[in-house]
Amino acid sequence: MSHNTFGKNLRFTSFGESHGSTIGCVLDGFPPGMAITTEEIKQQLKRRATGQSRHTSQRKEKDDVQIVSGVFEGVTTGHPIALIIENTDARSKDYSNIAKQIRPGHADFSYWKKYGIRDYRGGGRSSARETTMRVAAGALARKWLKQNYNISITAWLSQLGDIHLQAGDLSKIDESPFFTGEIDRVAELDAYMDQLRKSGDSVGAKISAKACHVPAGLGEPVYGKLDAELALAMMSINATKGVEIGAGFDAVTQKGSDHRDEIIDGEFASNHAGGILAGISTGQDITLSVAFKPTSSLRIPGKSIDTDGHAIEVVTKGRHDPCVGIRATPIVEAMMALVIMDHLMRHKSQTQSTHLDK
């Protein structure tokens, strides 16, 4: 399988499957000299982890990350950073009954048609388990961005099914299982998810995010647009079905006189562009939203076929999230960090000369 790498100057490659022995990644091009510990990485992994509430999959992985290269005496060396995590709570037997079944809404059909073979254990490579390594690598990128440019990245749940949420107090998003700053609405979200889980169904979600203190000038006007590469990164996350930058689809109903971000006394009066104009950052907060579909792993029977073409009825067992979008919050942050760091490195290499010793 190709295309497991993204980024230009900062290149991220992941490997492994949901029920394989190990998942891992290589982060190549990371600058030398930054102190990092496994505990710092684990802090971000805990935010993404399953089994932390009754509203997520009860698979409980230790996510005991190991740094196997690229760090010496606690400091990055400039060489490829390799991270690995062992899968310790995979229950492959939960999927033995679907070895020949094509689960509707899953990657089963498209994988089968493309490769002629698929790892049916938890979705194999298409499983969200792969995103663990994105969060691990993102932990390094987030620290580098904060130390070198004071850039902070925050994502939050802005919609759960038909429940719309405001940003609220973003300093409290880790105090609830929903990554919401509206702490006073957690009971409402709890009740909604309890009812959904009892019904055996699932629902989608929208995650919004912003990056603060991003300098102006990042990105390119044609094929290296910052917003295009952010959208690509978000669309690469499992279950993503839509990405908005700034006003997004609301721009359809806006008048040009409202949508344009006027500049008054040297300051932007609004930010409908999401901090990016012509693919290049403006220095404002970069804002985006990501739509996640409802999971297709349901106890409710669904019609499909098996690999022999016979009509069947599928009921998915095992441990699954009734809303996969909730746990996507730290994944969105990680992907945003990796893209912005990559663009900062690209910008510096293009616009600032470096005098090397001869």
Distance from C-alpha of 295 to C-alpha of 302, rounded to nearest angstrom: 13
Say which amino acid occupies 300.
Answer: I
Q: What is the pLDDT of residues 295-321, one digit of tens each?
A: 888 888 889 998 888 999 888 776 567
Distance from C-alpha of 65 to C-alpha of 86, rounded to nearest angstrom: 8
Closest CA to 229 of 153, 334, 335, 351: 335
pLDDT at 164 exceeding the cut of 90: yes
Burial class (CB in 10 A: 0-12, 13-18, 19+), 228: middle
pLDDT at 353 exceeding the cut of 80: no
Cα dihedral: 38, 40, 45, 47 (round 10): 160
Q: What is the pLDDT of residues 64-119, one digit of tens each?
A: 999 999 999 999 999 999 999 998 866 656 666 777 888 888 888 888 888 888 77
| pLDDT confidence of residue 301 | 86
Closest CA to 335 of 1, 3, 10: 10
pLDDT at 357 exceeding the cut of 70: no
pLDDT at 242 exceeding the cut of 70: yes
DSSP-assigned letters across all residues of 114-147: HHS----STTGGGSGGGHHHHHHHHHHHHHHHHH
Q: What is the pTM of this model?
A: 0.91
| pLDDT confidence of residue 79 | 98
| pLDDT confidence of residue 356 | 41
pLDDT grade for 54, boundaries at 50, 70 and 90: low
Closest CA to 325 of 249, 209, 197, 239: 239
Distance from C-alpha of 17 to C-alpha of 158, rounded to nearest angstrom: 30
Lowest-confidence region among 92-96, 140-144, 238-242: 92-96
The domains of the chain, with CATH numbers, are 5-351 (3.60.150.10)
Q: Which residue has the tokens 């730290």?
A: 330
Lowest-confidence region among 15-29, 142-156, 225-239, 344-358: 344-358
Burial class (CB in 10 A: 0-12, 13-18, 19+), 267: exposed
Q: What is the pLDDT of residues 175-220, one digit of tens each?
A: 988 999 999 999 999 999 999 888 888 999 999 999 999 999 999 9
pLDDT grade for 36, boundaries at 50, 70 and 90: very high
